[in-house]
């Protein structure tokens, strides 16, 4: 599943390509989107803004209409020049909009809907999202309050709850907790405020670093790095490295599969006791 940095970069790239452009045509395989387009056409509207909210990508059109998409496990947005060959087959297209300079295609996106802009703050999913780690107005104290509501759960599981804090996925979960030297299985309620603030500081630093330093296509993220190293094989501290030596102390990295959706957790038992 794309994580917050991936969606944020996708929104930035799409904003540069589509912002201020008029939609020439729109189509979708989803009947609900087609009905809205038939009643109040997207064609002729201007793309006012493309933005990210956690793992949700929002395209705001003139006239107060917003397209919300969520990539889930396999979805992605692609940008093409008119007439350029698509990198994925047309049967995987879910949403397709055309401007004079770019074509935007959502492939395998399972979650898409139109929302009135005035109703965004009342949207049942968006309104429950925790503070966005990549937002300029990030509220760490609000995150601490939400963490305390899940005090009995492992901190690794709490970080994945988008209602607590928005933007962390499975890769960053393991990387952040290693960076903060926190055991992923410690109950959230057992961690003091200073420790939780350190976790959030590491989370903000890692996500923002991956947003600021990389220019990539809108296909699923590759080359994500948290170590600061540019070496192709040294990008991550622990994720995907079960059995390999810790880059800090040499202890073999361990792997646990469990929790909701049997997620993988990587950690160093020496650095994260």
**Which residues are known catalytic residues?**
2-3, 55
Which residue's structure tokens are 């056409």? 41
Query: Which residues is 104 bridged to in the sheet?
Result: 79, 97
CB crowding 76-92: b at 16 or more within 10 Å, else e: bbbbeeeeeeeeeeeeb
Q: What is the dihedral of CA 212, 183, 264, 132, to 10 degrees?
A: -40
Cα 71 from Cα 87, distance rounded (Å): 17
How far is 155 from 158, CA to CA, in rounded Å?
5
Question: Distance of CA 195 to CAs 18, 139, 227, Å?
Answer: 41, 16, 20
Query: Does an H or E element contain 129, and which?
Result: none
């Amino acid at each position: 599943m794309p994580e917050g940095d991936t969606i944020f970069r996708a929104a930035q790239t799409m904003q540069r390509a589509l912002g201020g452009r008029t939609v020439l045509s729109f189509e979708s395989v989803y009947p609900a989107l087609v009905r809205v387009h038939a009643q109040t056409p997207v064609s002729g509207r201007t793309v006012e803004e493309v933005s990210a909210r956690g793992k949700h990508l929002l395209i705001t059109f003139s006239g107060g209409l917003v397209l919300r998409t969520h990539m889930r496990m396999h979805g992605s947005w692609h940008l093409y020049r008119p007439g350029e060959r698509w990198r994925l087959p047309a049967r995987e297209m879910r949403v397709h909009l055309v401007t004079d300079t770019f074509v935007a295609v959502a492939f395998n996106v399972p979650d898409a809907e139109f929302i009135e802009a005035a109703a965004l703050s009342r949207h049942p999913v968006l309104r429950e999202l925790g503070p966005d780690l990549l937002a300029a107005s990030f509220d760490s104290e609000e995150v601490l309050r939400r963490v305390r509501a899940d005090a009995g759960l492992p901190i690794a599981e709490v970080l994945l709850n988008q209602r607590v804090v928005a933007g962390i996925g499975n890769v960053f979960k393991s990387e952040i907790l290693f960076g903060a030297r926190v055991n992923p299985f410690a109950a959230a309620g057992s961690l003091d405020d200073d420790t939780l603030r350190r976790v959030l500081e590491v989370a903000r630093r890692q996500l923002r670093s991956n947003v600021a330093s990389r220019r990539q296509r809108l296909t699923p993220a590759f080359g994500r790095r948290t170590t600061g190293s540019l070496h192709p094989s040294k990008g991550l501290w622990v994720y995907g490295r079960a059995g390999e030596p810790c880059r800090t102390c040499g202890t073999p990295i361990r792997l646990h599969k469990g929790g909701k959706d049997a997620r993988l957790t990587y950690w160093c038992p020496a650095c994260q006791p």
